[in-house]
Every structure is written in structure tokens, then in C-alpha cells.
Amino acid sequence: MAQLTNTRDTSGADIPSNYSRLIARELGLTARQLPELLLGTGLSAPQLLSEDGLITPVQQMQILRNALTLSDQPGFGLRLGKRLTPATHGAMGFAACSSPNLLSALQAIHTFLPTRASVIELNLQEVGDDLECRQTFQVPLDDELLRCVAELIISVLLEFGEFIVGRPLDEAAIGFTHPAPEYQAIYSEYLSGQIEFGRDQLTLRLPLALCHEPNASANHESYRLALQQCEAMLAQLQTQTSSYQNRLKKMMLSRPPGTLSEEEAAATLFMSKRTLARKLKQEHSSFRQIRDDILSSQAASYLSESTLSIENIAALLNYHDSANFRRAFKRWFGQPPEDYRRGARSPGKR
């Protein structure tokens, strides 16, 4: 296997705020205490509590720094890592968990990590009979923060591995760059495998044979659909333009389909709903047009390339009943979804 690497832009708001809400939960903070966690970020408590909020890598690192100050227990990164189950990572987590095996899951995480955390870069490389996962960070980190983030990412990767293999990864070999901390004795409570400190590179090593074991929870159709959603999100993140249309598409693709409201989008961009509408009009677009473009594209893809029922597709796109979905689909394509599916699958369309 050739070494896999990614180049990432860490300047924009692209990290889902749900990670920071989990940090607040791990600290046991009340709503009144949230400003302490957000100190120095420029964020308000309502922005953090918004289900669909995005924050910048710099803001995320400041929140982690504040959390380390507020925490009164050692090993905060280890404890937080246990909260970050595969389900907390959106479409990327869904793709990894439905992958054919652990190798495919790690490749999905490598490819689509920019859709969740652009501050972390995961590189995969075969070394003898092992797969070596190397992690690097795209923003400067002080020693304490580096240790916390390293504990966190290793915990997350092991959580994925244990979900897929169905047991602790005792064969794992973990190399941390930081020296052994005073609380090193608790590492074995959170991490499986052999642990070394003071290494040149943050690494997780796994036997290739283990990585090729079938995933008992694999689901080919779910895997394919999740990959499609991740690819759409990644393509939008990699756009070189910074138009309001593209920024809005990026926000919509980072959330469950159809759930972002115009008010939430405007608040995330630090402007009023009226100002956002004016900016989009100047680009010959609108909030509804962008939302319809994304939903119609996803609907057409599901109808053409899956065997999902109309009702299931409606639910995936967050329509509360299939009748509303059918009306919207007819407005988009001028025909019912059943007719579109038959036409897309006719021999002349192949």
C-alpha cells in the first residue's frame, strides 16, 4: 500500500460543535458555566448549543485548552475519547462502521477526516506485516494540548477498531511522542495493546491480518451511500472559491439533509437573515435554491443507485412524511419519484 496523505486547509469553520458539547458534558458544566469553556474563542453559549454549528480549528483548540484548565482529573483526552463513539462522527463514522473490514474503515477515516476535523492528518502505510497509522496535527500545539489530542485520536481509532473487530485490539502497538505522564498507570484502563512513550511519531500499529478480518456489521448499501455523502462533503470543502453559495453548501452538507434553517445559517455566518439573503441574491441564488439543489441531487442518487423505498429515502432526507417528499420531488423533476426511478433504470439510461 502506498502511503496515503492529505493536504488540508485549516482556516475556516469546519469542525462540528457537537465535539465541544461533549467536552462540556465530560466536564459536567451547566449552561451558566459554558462561558468559561468558551473563553478566548469569540463564541457564545447559544452558538455552541446550536445542533448544526461549526467552529474553526483555532476555536476548537482553545476550547480544549480551556477544558484542560477546568478539568480536575488526569487523562482528560483519554476520558473524552471514550465519549467519542463512532456514532458521533457523522457520515464518516457511518461509512467506517459499515465498511467491509478495518482496513476499509481506516481508509475511509483517512480520506474523510477533513469533513470532521481538519486539524488532524491521518497517514496509512504498510510496514512489513503491519499497517501503521501515523497522526500529525495541522496547528501548533503546546505540550499539554499535544498530549491531550494524541490521547484523544488514539482512543477514537481504537473505538472504531473494537467496534469492527468486536473485541479489544490487544495486538495494537501505540507510540506516543510525549514522555510518560504521572498518570500513565491509567492508560491501560482506556487503551488496549502495548503502549510506548517518547517516540518520534504518534503511531498506531495493527497487524494487516487483523485489518482484513470481515466486519460483522458491514452493510454494502449503507457503506456506499455513506461514502457518497462523504465524497460530496469533501468536494465542497475542497472548493477554492469562498462565495456565500459555497459556504452555505458546505454548512448544509455537514449536517443531516434539510435540517439547516436560514436563521441558523445566518447566525453561523455572523449576519442577519436579511443580509444573507441579499448576499445570495447578488450571487444569483437563494437559500431555498441551494437547499433544493442539494436535496434533489441526493434524492436522484438514492432513486437511481439504491433499492431503498420511497418512504426510506424521504426519511433519509428528513421529510416527516413521504407525501411532502413526493410533492417536492415533482417540483424538482416534473414527475413522481417512481417514474424517475423507472426512467433511470431503463436500458436506454445505462
- Are 125 and 47 in contact by the 8 Å Cβ rule? The answer is no
Cα–Cα dist 132/93, whole Å = 20
d(CA 205, CA 128): 11
Contact residues for 149 (Cβ-Cβ < 8 A; gap 6+): 64, 77, 119, 120, 137, 141
What is the pLDDT, as a whole number, of residue 97?
Answer: 92
Q: What is the CATH number of the domain that holds 247?
A: 1.10.10.60
The radius of gyration of the chain's CA atoms, rounded to the nearest angstrom, is: 22
d(CA 119, CA 139): 6
pLDDT value, residue 12: 65
The reported pLDDT for the residue numbered 7 is: 36
How are beta strands 173-175 and 194-196 bridged, if at all? parallel
Per-residue confidence (pLDDT) for residue 238, from 0 to 100: 63
Q: Are 191 and 278 members of one domain?
A: no
Cell triple for residue 311?
418512504
Residue 226 counted as domain residue = no
Per-residue pLDDT of the chain (350 residues; tens, 9 = 90+): 444 433 344 446 778 888 999 999 999 999 899 999 999 999 999 888 876 678 888 899 999 999 999 998 889 999 999 999 888 888 899 999 999 999 999 999 999 888 888 778 899 999 999 999 999 887 778 899 999 999 999 999 999 999 999 999 999 999 999 999 999 999 999 999 999 999 999 999 999 999 999 998 888 888 888 888 888 877 766 654 567 887 788 778 767 788 888 988 888 777 788 989 998 998 889 999 999 988 998 888 888 878 888 998 988 888 888 899 999 999 999 999 999 988 876 655 54
**Are both 259 and 204 inside the same structural domain?**
no
- CA–CA separation, 195 and 54 (whole Å): 34
Which residues have CB under 8 Å from 346's CB, separation 6+?
none
Distance CA 319, CA 325 (A): 6
**Closest Cα partner for 64 from 137, 122, 132?**
137
| Within-domain flag for 94 | yes
Indicate whether 23 and 132 sit together in one domain. yes
Position 219 in a domain: no
Q: Is residue 303 part of a domain?
A: yes
Contacts for 36 with CB less than 8 Å, ≥ 6 apart: 29, 66, 70
Strand positions, DSSP E, 24-102: 54-55
Same domain, 97 and 34: yes
Residues 60 and 118 in one domain: yes
> Is 227 a member of any domain?
no
CA distances from 132 to 103, 123, 207 (A): 11, 8, 9
Surface-to-core class of residue 243, CB atoms within 10 Å of its CB (0-12 exposed, 13-18 middle, 19+ buried):
middle
What distance in Å separates the CA atoms of residue 107 and residue 193, rounded to the nearest whole number?
Answer: 21
Dihedral angle sign, alpha carbons of residues 185, 189, 190, 192: positive
Query: Do 189 and 248 share a structural domain?
Result: no
> What pLDDT is recorded for position 301?
81
pLDDT in the model for residue 242: 63
Q: Is residue 1 part of a domain?
A: no
Domain count, the chain: 2
Please tell me whether the overall predicted TM-score, pTM, comes out greater than 0.75 for this model.
no
Domain match, 195 and 265 both: no
- Say if residue 36 is in the same domain as residue 88: yes
187 and 299 in a single domain? The answer is no
Q: How far is it, in rounded angstroms, from Cα 94 to Cα 222? A: 8
CATH number where 170 lies: 3.90.1520.10
Domain that holds residue 150: 15-211
**109 with 200, same domain?**
yes
Q: How far apart are CA 230 and CA 236, in angstroms?
A: 10
Residue 6 counted as domain residue: no
